[in-house]
Structure 1
Amino acid sequence: MDNDTQIITEGLAKIRTGGNVFYNPVQEFNRDLSISVITAFAKHYSEEKLQKKSKGVNVIISNTGSDSVAEACTKCDDGISILEALSATGLRSIRYAKEIPRVKEIIANDISHRAVEDIKRNIVDNAVTNIVHPSHSDATLLMYQHRKENQFDVIDLDPYGCPSIFLDSAVQAIKDGGLLLITATDMAVLAGNTPETCYSKYGSISLRIKSCHEMALRILLQCIESHANRYGRYIVPLISLSADFYIRVFVRVYTGAYKCKFTTSKLAYVYHCTGCDSFALQPLGVLKKNEKNNKQVKFCIPTGPAVSQKCEHCGHSHHIGGPIWTDPIHSPDFVQEVLKTASDKLNTFKRIQGVLSVISEELLDVPLYYTLERLSGVIHVEMPSMLVLRSAILNAGFKVSFTHMNRTSIKTDAPTKVVWDIMRCWEKKHPISKKRCIENTPAFNILAQPPEKDYSFEMHPDANPESRKLGFVRFQENPLPHWGPGFKATAMVGDQKILKSKKNQGKRKREASQESVD
């Protein structure tokens, strides 16, 4: 065995890899969750086929697709076809073959010749040659080759960085009703550090706001929808996840030109106050029901803007971001299905259980969120406990939830005015020092306005969510070993490929030296 060879055991797979093919153990949660999602999807997809057959739709179903013989690591002739477009070691594809039932075929593709050699060896070692087939190709080219015939039921895109270059081909190579699994790791771009780069890659302006992780998910979803709409297709998100150093979405893709007309009503620009972090949404389109026929919908352009030139709460100006996806980012029914089918033998099962439980409690029709520390920090007031603030919102007659993206998140349908009124009432009970209330600051302008009513902070019976009562692992601590996205794989097309970091060493000095010579 080569000295550079690594032996990796994860789930039911055991693989060998050499050279600089990329493997990140932190992503085990990603792979475990993907297995759970595809397992639930495959079951649901099989049931949909049977329903279509019973309605007379011409769908070929063999007996091998029944629940009684649905076993992992066994080829199912009427099962799902999966493409892992960026396979690297082949670990994910092998785990899919060995741990997901109702699978017909898996294509494990990579552009690196050395990576494909690893994939071939690992497929044989794990005895999944009947299901997993290696492919040495450019991912986008491979998907374009499948856009008309032999489309895939599932396509998994887990690139290093931005996935946008793969989306055009992916939305064409997926079957009607198929599942796309897409990861993005360029969080600095999506979270507002470089909004101009975000626009060039995703067609949306990102903002540096406290709910940047949810905004990142919604930017990615609108980007996928935009690519799908060009071909008369649209998406339905099943689960949208922010975890560790990446975001991951699971969406179904459907065909329907008429349904694409609803897209503008699912998108909005975001007005973000630079002083108090309040936000408002400006939809791109609105739907109005026909007065004569409620089944008919009229597509209209909304009036705007949604805010005044200065923030009504603190008097500061706004930044404009987006467009972002404003429709639900999860399917509650599907989340429950994944919770039921997820195997407790997975190493990260407790985390899957906890995260999905929080997701199942999230408010679906409320984009973005506040954070407890920011609401308190803006007006320099003593921070209330999470249960106290949640109780105040519930006592006011509004809904509130956590989001899995932030342990101090406040997601609520209460108007921003009500949220600040509640904080004003809290400040009355816990007055701040006059030295901290400087004229024309957000704190001064917000506290200068009296609350419209006195809000109650009495403990509400629904303030403590079920996932918290049950003690689920809801918010993951930073895994110190191997933390972060790691380095990009260097086992690429040719042996002449060198690390970008090494290539750029001393670049500025070389350029300066060249300029002095010239």
Structure 2
Amino acid sequence: MVTLDGDFSVITEGKANILFPKNNEVFYNNVQQFNRDMSIAAIKTWKALAASGLRSIRYAKEIPNIKFIMANDLDSDAVESMNRNIKYNGLDKDLLRVNQDDACSVLYQHRKHPDRFDVIDLDPYGTAAPFIDGTVQAVEDGGLLCITCTDLANLTGSNYPEKCYANYGAIPVRGEFCHEMALRILLHTLSTSAARYQRRILPLMCCSIDFYIRVFVRVFTAAVEVKKNPCKTSMLYVCNGCHSHYMQPLAKATDKKTFVPVSGPVVDKRCEHCQSSFQVGGPMWNDALHDKEFVCKMLDHVKASNEEAYKTHPRMLGMLTVISEEIDSPLYHNLANICGTIHCTNPPLKGYKVSASHAAAGSIKTDAPMSIIWDIIRSWIRLHPVTMKNIKENSPAKKLLEAEPSFIADFSIHKDAEPPSRKIKLVRYQQNPEKYWGPKPRATGKRKSQEVEKDNKNEEHLSMSSKKFAPDKDCDS
């Protein structure tokens, strides 16, 4: 047992009790408890990072049948904190092994069976990009990757598209769908990185949460499946005027099971709806973000648990239910933005094949093409006319309103229009959980005084938690 003094406070999360330095020498963010709760639930469902060591200690105490966990950090303060907290929690150091090394070196040392990890959890400060190449090699066949990226300003196109391209090999485009686009860019990077080693990815669940994205992805060795990657990869076209968006795959499969480039582009030089020009983004993942069977099993697990197991239990129920209801159509629209383009009121979120996206309140995912969406809005305007004096000449709104709808939409409410998550009033979208709830500053440890090159900081502050599970008769890896 560790004797407490005035330098530490005890933080309890799940079954872990962490001695947290009051001077913030190691990193802790209370808001990311939801991240850790979701990760434990996901790993438990799949079976069937470091810093203070909180994540690794919770894994060791809350996930059954673990052979050992390696918790790695390059920072000496973080390593000291992990060792202190392992002792404080009464854990065996053979079960939870603390390692101080460069994360990439650790990953590359575990590229071959039987040294690979069954689960690798990357939760760095900022981007996970420097560690992806090693990660897709160091995970066991059929194993699980849990990856967090907090550099949303780059991934969503808010600024520095060249930085996103440098890290992920894709250009983001500003749009209402930006948080799902961030997920699809990360999946594209994972997919192309794994493909170099004849491996393919299978996303189990990909989430946009608060100020970061979190993906749970399985990796398999499957050279034949890797050939399908171009069909699962698209470029993105976004209209500068009405913000209509279109995705174009890079290739298609033939009847002879070969692959050829597609004809394109899928849009004209000018938008068919408002005659504005297009921006081009990508490439990005265009296939499913979630494995619905996995999501439903994870949802069942959370329903069978309670707030004693997961403090963020209500939010987990809400997000998992919304994800289970999502359709697989890439990207989403914001109804308020669509209607704002032509200054009309919002029609109800009913009708056609449609769902919400977990990534944004007020979002709609649909398999309807943009021409259908605009005709639905034009039909709505016939019932709820806009004030034409608000419409500027030669604006996208003016051009959109000049066209007649090809059909008149029926706005009577469909019997299946109301999703279960809304009917039972779940916590579907997170409200600000606390004051100053965004990303926290970097930890200030001993390495702070030893200034390193700016380009290497992300790599040095990585917190990686990896798991090696004991054989289980119900586990296929």
Equivalent of 2:440 in 483, 486, 499 = 486
Q: How does 1:47-126 map to 2 (within 5 A)?
A: 84=49, 87-126=50-89
Q: Could you say which residue in structure 2 is the equivalent of 1:511? A: none
1:303 aligned partner, one-letter code: S
Report if aligned partners of 1:402, 1:410 keep a CA contact under 8 Å in 2.
Answer: yes
Equivalent of 1:182 in 147, 151, 155 = 147
Q: Per-residue CA shift, 1:78-106, capped at 9, x if unaligned?
A: xxxxxx4xx10000000001111121111
Equivalent of 2:41 in 21, 24, 36 = 36
Q: CA deviation at 1:482?
A: 4.2
Residues of 1 paired with 2:13 and 2:387: CA distance? 55
The TM-score with structure 1 as length reference comes to 0.83
Q: Per-residue CA shift, 1:417-473, capped at 9, x if unaligned?
A: 110001011111111122122221111000100001111111111111111111111
Q: Percent identity?
A: 48
Equivalent of 1:338 in 298, 302, 320 = 298
Equivalent of 1:200 in 166, 186, 205 = 166
Q: Could you say which residue in structure 2 is the equivalent of 1:267? A: 233
Report if aligned partners of 1:111, 1:492 keep a CA contact under 8 Å in 2.
Answer: no
Residues of 2 paired with 1:207 and 1:2: CA distance? 51
Q: Could you say which residue in structure 2 is the equivalent of 1:230? A: 196
Q: Could you say which residue in structure 2 is the equivalent of 1:418? A: 372
Q: Could you say which residue in structure 2 is the equivalent of 1:141? A: 105
Q: Per-residue CA shift, 1:158-189, capped at 9, x if unaligned?
A: 01111000001111110000000000001110
Q: Could you say which residue in structure 2 is the equivalent of 1:300? A: 260
What are structure 1's unaligned runs of at least 5 residues? 44-83, 291-296, 501-518
Residues of 2 paired with 1:274 and 1:462: CA distance? 34
Name whichever of 19-28 and 3-12 sits farther off: 3-12
Structure 1 segments of 4+ aligned residues over 3 angstroms from their partners: 1-4, 492-500
Tell me whether 1:496 sits opposite 2:427 in the alignment: no
Residues of 2 paired with 1:488 and 1:309: CA distance? 45
Q: How does 1:113-512 map to 2 (within 5 A)?
A: 113-129=76-92, 130-149=94-113, 150-193=115-158, 194-290=160-256, 297-342=257-302, 343-344=305-306, 345=308, 346-364=310-328, 366-384=329-347, 388-391=348-351, 394=352, 399-491=353-445, 493=447, 495-497=449-451
Report if aligned partners of 1:339, 1:353 keep a CA contact under 8 Å in 2.
Answer: yes
What are structure 2's unaligned runs of at least 5 residues? 455-477
Q: CA deviation at 1:147?
A: 0.9
Count of residue pairs brought into register by the alignment: 442
Q: Could you say which residue in structure 1 is the equivalent of 2:27? A: 22
C-alpha RMSD of the superposition? 1.5
1:426 aligned partner, one-letter code: W
1:272 aligned partner, one-letter code: V
2:450 aligned partner, one-letter code: Q
Q: Per-residue CA shift, 1:199-233, capped at 9, x if unaligned?
A: 11110000110000000000000011111111111
Residues of 1 paired with 2:378 and 2:179: CA distance? 27
Q: Could you say which residue in structure 2 is the equivalent of 1:58? A: none
Q: CA deviation at 1:114?
A: 1.2
- Which of the two has higher C-alpha Rg? 1
Q: CA deviation at 1:363?
A: 0.4
Q: Per-residue CA shift, 1:337-361, capped at 9, x if unaligned?
A: 1112233231011111110111011
Q: CA deviation at 1:15?
A: 1.0
Report if aligned partners of 1:287, 1:299 keep a CA contact under 8 Å in 2.
Answer: yes
1:199 aligned partner, one-letter code: Y
Q: CA deviation at 1:334?
A: 0.3
Higher-RCO chain (CA-CA 8 Å, sequence separation at least 6)? 2
2:60 aligned partner, one-letter code: A
Residues of 2 paired with 1:135 and 1:376: CA distance? 54
Q: Secondary structure at the match of 2:46?
A: helix
